[in-house]
Amino acid sequence: QANSSNAISELDKEFDGLYSVLDEMKGSMAGTIQQEAARKIQALQDQISQCTNGLESSEELVELAVQSLDIKDPAEFLK
């Protein structure tokens, strides 16, 4: 009976130790995943910003091209 109680006590201690290690690993892995997700979200936001800027520049060029095509006077067109 005493040996059985000691064995159960040792198993409980070992289980608690293993659980503690696993819990620490879980926290570490969750932190790493959150950091990676934040990095990827920031990269996507940067790409969206670059695309938006490129689109706005393209729109300005298209507007300038349309205005240029509307000019009928050759001298005015050269300006």
Measured between alpha carbons, how far is 39 from 36 in angstroms, rounded to an integer? Answer: 5
- How many Cα neighbours within 13 Å face the side chain of 27? 5
pLDDT tens digits in sequence order for the chain, 79 residues long: 778 989 999 999 999 999 999 999 999 999 999 999 999 999 999 999 999 999 999 999 999 889 888 888 877 777 7
Find the largest Cα–Cα distance for the chain.
109
pLDDT, residue 72, reads 82
- Could you identify the residue written with the tokens 């520049």? 57
Model-level pTM greater than 0.75?
Answer: no
CA dihedral 56, 58, 63, 66 (to 10 degrees): -170
Find the Cα–Cα–Cα–Cα dihedral 4, 6, 11, 14, rounded to 10°.
-170
